[in-house]
Amino acid sequence: MGFRDDLRRLKEIHQANPHLSRRELQEMLESEKEQARGEQYADYFAPAAIRPYIEVVPPKVWKNDLDAFVRTYIGIFGLQPEDTFGIYTEPSGESIGALSIVYRDRPEYQHRRTRYRQVLLGE
């Protein structure tokens, strides 16, 4: 992706998420780019390798109570412990940035993402 592609994608992300700050939009773009870099090596994955799903949650959504957000997220998804690889926050300067939830994607989780976006993100 070049500079113009980044600008175009930032505009698309902003149109889909007008409530996010510039910093949060930039974090989402960087997350997408990082995920794309990981996909370029997909041909080298072992045949039985699990491709995890990574949900990146803007800090605005969970900042007041991280524990409550994680419990609600797990409850909405019915996320099983054996599917969960990790939950972590990314540093953003002196504050905490986006929250990443990494888990094995399963077909039953697909439709639950829509419900999550409606309930927790208000989309």
**Residue 78 phi, psi (nearest 5):** 70, 30
Question: Is 60 exceeded by the pLDDT of residue 99?
Answer: yes
Q: Is 2 a residue whose pLDDT tops 80?
A: no
Evaluate if pTM is beyond 0.85.
Answer: no
DSSP letter at 121?
Answer: S
Residue spans of the domains in the chain: they are 1-46, 50-123
Instruction: Report residue 123's pLDDT band, with 50, 70 and 90 as the boundaries.
Output: low
The one-letter amino acid code at 45 reads F
- Answer yes or no: is pLDDT of 34 > 70: yes
- Average pLDDT (66-90) is 88
Measure the CA–CA gap between 113 and 26, rounded to whole angstroms.
22
Per-residue pLDDT, 95:
73
Helices and strands in the chain, H and E counts: 5, 3
Q: Which CATH architecture has domain 50-123?
A: 2-Layer Sandwich (3.30)
